[in-house]
Structure 1
Amino acid sequence: MPAAAAGLTLAAMKKPQLLRVAGAVLLSVAAAGCSVMPSAPTAQARPKLVVFMAVDGFPQRQVLAYRDQLAPDGLARFLDRGAWFANAHYGHSVTATAPGHATMLTGAYPHRTGIINNEWRDVNTGAAVYNTGDTQHTYIGHQTRPLDGTSPRNLKVETVGDVLRRVDPRSKVIAISGKDRGAILPAGRTGTAYMYMSQTGQFASSTYYMKEHPAWVTTFNAGKPADRYFKTEWKPLLPEAAYARSLPDAQPWFGKRVGKLPMMMGAPNDDAPGLSYYSGLLPSPFADALALDFARAAIAGEGLGRDDAPDILSVSLSGHDYVNHYWSAESRLSHDHVLQLDRLFEAFFRDLDATVGRDNYVAVLTADHGFMPAPEYSQSQGRQAGRLTPAQLLTRINADLQRQFGEPKLVPFISASTALVVDRKVVAQKGLDLNVVAEAARASLLADPAVAAAYTRRELESGSKAGAPYFGQMRRSWHQDVSGDVHYALKPYWMNASSSGYSTTHGSPHEYDTHVPILVYGPKWVKPGKVEARVEVADIAPTIARWLGVPPPAAAEGRPLPLAAP
């Protein structure tokens, strides 16, 4: 029906008829070549493979800090011949590994994904919950502890890979990481995750995905590739003078961990690789090299990017997070680790070009969070900074509440590192009002010089504090089914210290933690150049969905990145 003729009869039509005619008009206009709505890419226009990469704990400031020292075709491929976003951020406040990885390919923040931190406590029982923990499943061929990550059971939403496989079951989604959460959460419900096993130096999946590994995985592990680095030194790539912009080795706040290059892999007295050696590879470039080697094996073994059913390969490199936790992003070790990753990327891209074809894939690189400077470094720069001990904070708050309500332990624990949980049983037994207790706990929190903001469950559920400091970010990190009763954030440069003894950490709503890279390379799909517009990591999943010609994940709250076509 011509558009003009349709317009003459609209007034006489009932609603169902009107909707059908409107749809027909849109289809006829689109068929005539008018740009009413973007059409899905054809099979020929879609990339055969989306290579999604994350560097754990990689703040945007480090991407550019050593730009003059990068290899010609590693990170520089994105910066010089791809598109990169100068102002990319996370929109939630608890910037940790699991929430970040849950956001990347779902396009949703923790208030929808349910992944509020790496671990949290059940608000009713106090039981520990791990983000990818699932006692119904075990690692294949490896010992599995109760809180080990084995499935996406706690992830409440779908990924773009889940959508892709629903549209075309021939498509494959493979996710690889040094950490279980770095593989399981991007893999979603229908992909396949493989994790580095620090017990053996092998990569393994879990019984959630399969009963036994495919032959290519068995062959890869049989070669014992991790053993090749035994007694190998991690040496600086460049001469000493090249690291003048970074802090020297062996800072006093490194603690007991050795913080000096060159660094030997394996203890001096070890005669053969063992548990301490395999786990010791993680804070080094070598576990990342192994992950990329396993990715190469996956491309070959699974035939990724070989047919007209597009595939997704997700690779999360975990080493940088350990390096920055141990020695800080300002350290020479972190500086050199960036350069080591850069060279690993260059070799990986060269192999992708040869095996998949330069014009057949799109590569995207981001991070799950940034990193705060070590408090001691911030203090040396004249900033107000310090370390807050959660146990001491909890003791003081309970003392304040006892003076008001006469009960000694109304807040039994802190969940997800950022929320007080009120004891519901005691509140009910004593006839107290949960909201009144939460308000008093919030007032006690705000009296601490390290606390920037705190909001109660009632405020977060209702949105009544919209526009208040950090409220939007904190609300996106808070899930009503699993989060605590008073959600709080620390002031800039204050660190939530814990028994880990880390030099520094992440997990705040501040720019050093939220500002991460989003880098894209794919000459057939993306025009190169720097993009100044503010974007969010939640925008990545809808962007990939558009390239693949599938709907974005149902819970996605991002929008496609503002990328110009080539």
Structure 2
Amino acid sequence: MPLVKLKTLTTALAAALCVAGAGAGFAQDSAAPAQKVTAATAPPKLIVMIAVDQFSADLFAEYRSHFTGGLARLASGVVFPSGYQAHGATETCPGHSTILTGNHPAHTGIIANNYFDLSAAREDKRLYCAEDETVPGTSSKQYAASVNHLLVPTLGDLMKARAPKAQVVSVAGKDRAAIMMGGRKADELMWLAPTGLTSFRGTTLSPVATQASAAIAAAIAAPQPGLALPADCAGHDIAIPVGGGRTVGTGRLARDGGDFRRFMASPEADGAVLAAAAALRQARKLGEGSTTDLLIVGLSATDYVGHGFGTGGSEMCLQMLALDRELGDFFARLDQAGIDYAVALTADHGGHDLPERNRQNAWPAAARVDAAIDPDAVAKAVAEKLGLPQPLLYSDGPFGDMYLSKALTPAQRKAAMAELIARFRAFPQVEAVVTGEEFASRPISKQAPDTWSLLDKLRASYNAERSGDFIVVLKPRVTPIADTSRGYVATHGSVWDYDRRVPMLFWRKGLSGFEQPNAVMTVDILPTLASLIGLPVDAGKIDGRCLDLLSGPESSCR
């Protein structure tokens, strides 16, 4: 395939959808004179919440000087470079559940992408975080999407409870991103699918969403040539062997027509979501009414690129520069509407580069997980040794929550726990094994998240009704993917700061920019935005605190 210049799909799809706005550009409106935002300034008419999946603080720092579009605009605002998804289970669903609830996963109930409920009525005891397992004929793989597992309200839920005319729209690449940020009362909530856009079972998409879905489906059906490599990416263009004769690091994100998996792992996916969000904003006139509206945007391509190619090659460089351009185009369209809007951007978690590249970059101990740390194999050996019924243990992989069978007697349970924990602790790649009992009386830390102990991190993800009997933690720089033949070469999910640290950026026209280097948390976003729009929030029901967005003696926290 011939290489093509990097351009925004937001522009192409927005044109097809007749969404107003010029081409991508940072300076179009942001450079115009604006009245300085003070404590007395009226609330913005629109809040735009953007979550970039797997956009680590490390990636932001690495590419910050190269941004010229939307991310450059946000970096000119209020910047918290050391934001934290403070909890230990740094996966997509838990991370998104913190952003607009103000609560850690221990309180949102979203402890992992998948967890186990051994009392579930269906045969499949694994539960997907955003499903309704009571729907007949479903499983954790073929599920009915639902918000049922989220235990707390979102910002949109609170806004609509106060002002029913307030509009809330949530659109994302992944269902769990749209659902965990959108909550229960969103007017429209949707995510990408091979057919374009989709939503909950039984939901009919609005006319503009249907039009956007058709345009996205057409884009998926068309092949995508490889992208030309900008000069800024030349230093990243290095082939790294990952086994089986395969290399990563020199890709150009090309794909065949109809390849949805590759579509999701390219800037096209983010462009599609942003174009749909712009179309929905225009059609619903978000930000043009008497109340403040909320537009939620979940961008997933960075995560798929990170999983498929790692965070250090030409693929991620292309994705970062494209993300910057797509956001620039999106903001230009909001500017064209002439509305007063405020933007917050963060991530659901960070990310860990592949060990083969990490070993070349000052981390000689980086490795893939030993295949021997297979919970099923370990549990089978323990069951045979102790004469216990199988299956003995339920898990979603070589780390995280582990659930003992409910068929055990108390004596069998005690013996199985002791043997299993001893075996996991004996593996050289295992950092720690922690039991649920160790969290029984441990409060969630109120200290700065960069000072948290391993137990503090795990406690913020621990929910007594949903978490496992014990939790396995791998050592730093151990990638829990032993086999790369299925496509994924890198991941996240650990308690270590490369997975916990994310940027938190706030921008509004007239808001004086500054940078606050101290550690803050994504649970602080809800109270910060609530204060910005004058929405009362019960501090006793959230884990976060309001962050001051004003640089002078006044405070934006009310």
- The verdict on a shared fold, with TM-score over 0.5 as the criterion, is yes
Deviation at 1:259, TM superposition (A): 5.8
Match of 2:309 among 327, 334, 338: 327
2:101 matches 1:77: no
Match of 2:531 among 526, 542, 546: 546
Deviation at 1:547, TM superposition (A): 1.0
Match of 1:463 among 423, 439, 442: 442
Q: Deviations over 1:27-56 (max 9, x none)?
A: xxxxxxxxxxxxx988x7111000000111
Please tell me the residue identity of whatever aligns with 1:490: L
2:500 matches 1:514: yes
Q: Deviations over 1:93-140 (max 9, x none)?
A: 0101000111100011111111111112223456121111126789xx
Describe the shift of the 1:435–1:361 C-alpha distance in structure 2 as closer, same or farther (beyond 3 A).
farther
Please tell me the residue identity of whatever aligns with 1:372: H
Query: Aligned equivalents of 1:162 and 1:465: distance in 2?
Result: 25
Query: Aligned equivalents of 1:406 and 1:223: distance in 2?
Result: 59
Describe the shift of the 1:145–1:348 C-alpha distance in structure 2 as closer, same or farther (beyond 3 A).
same
- The residue number in structure 2 matching 1:119 is 114
Match of 2:102 among 96, 104, 107: 107
Query: Aligned equivalents of 2:58 and 2:126: distance in 1?
Result: 34
Report the secondary structure of 2:359's partner residue. Answer: helix
Query: Aligned equivalents of 1:561 and 1:253: distance in 2?
Result: 46
2:257 matches 1:296: no
Q: Deviations over 1:410-448 (max 9, x none)?
A: 7322147512211221x22xx516355434422322111
Please tell me the residue identity of whatever aligns with 2:204: E
Query: Aligned equivalents of 2:380 and 2:248: distance in 1?
Result: 39
Match of 1:131 among 85, 105, 129: 129
Range moving further from structure 2, 52-61 or 146-155: 146-155
- The residue number in structure 1 matching 2:514 is 529
Question: How many aligned residue pairs are there?
Answer: 501
Please tell me the residue identity of whatever aligns with 1:514: R
- Give yes or no for contact 1:54–1:367 (8 Å, CA) kept in 2: yes
- The residue number in structure 2 matching 1:154 is 149
Range moving further from structure 2, 510-519 or 115-124: 115-124
- Give yes or no for contact 2:425–2:432 (8 Å, CA) kept in 1: yes
Match of 2:42 among 45, 55, 60: 45
Describe the shift of the 1:321–1:441 C-alpha distance in structure 2 as closer, same or farther (beyond 3 A).
same
- The residue number in structure 1 matching 2:219 is 227
- Give yes or no for contact 1:95–1:507 (8 Å, CA) kept in 2: yes
- The residue number in structure 2 matching 1:344 is 326
Describe the shift of the 1:221–1:248 C-alpha distance in structure 2 as closer, same or farther (beyond 3 A).
same
Alignment of 1:134-533 (within 5 A): 134=132, 147-148=142-143, 150-192=145-187, 194-200=189-195, 202-207=196-201, 211-223=203-215, 226-227=218-219, 230-239=222-231, 242-246=232-236, 248-249=238-239, 251-253=241-243, 260-266=250-256, 273-274=257-258, 277-357=259-339, 360-380=340-360, 381-388=362-369, 392-395=373-376, 397-398=378-379, 401-402=382-383, 405-407=386-388, 409=390, 411-415=392-396, 417-425=399-407, 427-428=408-409, 431-432=410-411, 434-435=413-414, 437-463=416-442, 469-497=453-481, 500-524=486-510, 526-533=511-518
Please tell me the residue identity of whatever aligns with 1:489: V
- Give yes or no for contact 2:157–2:185 (8 Å, CA) kept in 1: yes
Query: Aligned equivalents of 1:159 and 1:465: distance in 2?
Result: 20
Query: Aligned equivalents of 1:420 and 1:128: distance in 2?
Result: 12
Report the secondary structure of 2:200's partner residue. Answer: coil
Please tell me the residue identity of whatever aligns with 1:363: V
- Give yes or no for contact 1:373–1:504 (8 Å, CA) kept in 2: yes
Deviation at 1:264, TM superposition (A): 2.9
Please tell me the residue identity of whatever aligns with 1:374: L
- Give yes or no for contact 1:229–1:265 (8 Å, CA) kept in 2: no
Query: Aligned equivalents of 2:144 and 2:316: distance in 1?
Result: 27
- Give yes or no for contact 2:373–2:424 (8 Å, CA) kept in 1: no
Q: Which runs of 5+ in 1 are unaligned?
A: 1-39, 267-272
- The residue number in structure 2 matching 1:54 is 51
Q: Percent identity?
A: 29
Report the secondary structure of 2:374's partner residue. Answer: helix
- Give yes or no for contact 1:137–1:151 (8 Å, CA) kept in 2: no
Please tell me the residue identity of whatever aligns with 1:482: R
Report the secondary structure of 1:93's partner residue. Answer: coil
Query: Aligned equivalents of 2:502 and 2:161: distance in 1?
Result: 30
- The residue number in structure 2 matching 1:35 is none
Q: Deviations over 1:230-262 (max 9, x none)?
A: 2232413513xx324425146435975876443
- Give yes or no for contact 1:400–1:444 (8 Å, CA) kept in 2: no
Query: Aligned equivalents of 1:278 and 1:468: distance in 2?
Result: 40
Q: TM-score scaled by structure 2?
A: 0.82
Report the secondary structure of 1:50's partner residue. Answer: strand
Describe the shift of the 1:146–1:437 C-alpha distance in structure 2 as closer, same or farther (beyond 3 A).
closer
Query: Aligned equivalents of 1:322 and 1:339: distance in 2?
Result: 16
Query: Aligned equivalents of 1:231 and 1:410: distance in 2?
Result: 45
Q: Deviations over 1:464-516 (max 9, x none)?
A: 99999510111111211111101121110011226654111000110110011
Query: Aligned equivalents of 1:185 and 1:257: distance in 2?
Result: 35
- Give yes or no for contact 1:131–1:149 (8 Å, CA) kept in 2: no
Report the secondary structure of 1:94's partner residue. Answer: coil
Deviation at 1:534, TM superposition (A): 1.0
- Give yes or no for contact 1:415–1:484 (8 Å, CA) kept in 2: no
- Give yes or no for contact 2:241–2:248 (8 Å, CA) kept in 1: no
Query: Aligned equivalents of 2:89 and 2:351: distance in 1?
Result: 12
Q: Whose Rg is larger?
A: 1
Please tell me the residue identity of whatever aligns with 1:388: V
Q: What's the Cα RMSD here?
A: 3.0
Please tell me the residue identity of whatever aligns with 2:74: F
Query: Aligned equivalents of 1:491 and 1:356: distance in 2?
Result: 50
Query: Aligned equivalents of 2:245 and 2:546: distance in 1?
Result: 44
Query: Aligned equivalents of 1:163 and 1:333: distance in 2?
Result: 39
Query: Aligned equivalents of 2:380 and 2:459: distance in 1?
Result: 28
Deviation at 1:61, TM superposition (A): 1.2
Query: Aligned equivalents of 2:353 and 2:290: distance in 1?
Result: 46
- Give yes or no for contact 1:95–1:514 (8 Å, CA) kept in 2: yes
Q: Which runs of 5+ in 2 are unaligned?
A: 1-37, 446-450, 553-558
- Give yes or no for contact 2:80–2:504 (8 Å, CA) kept in 1: yes
Deviation at 1:326, TM superposition (A): 0.6
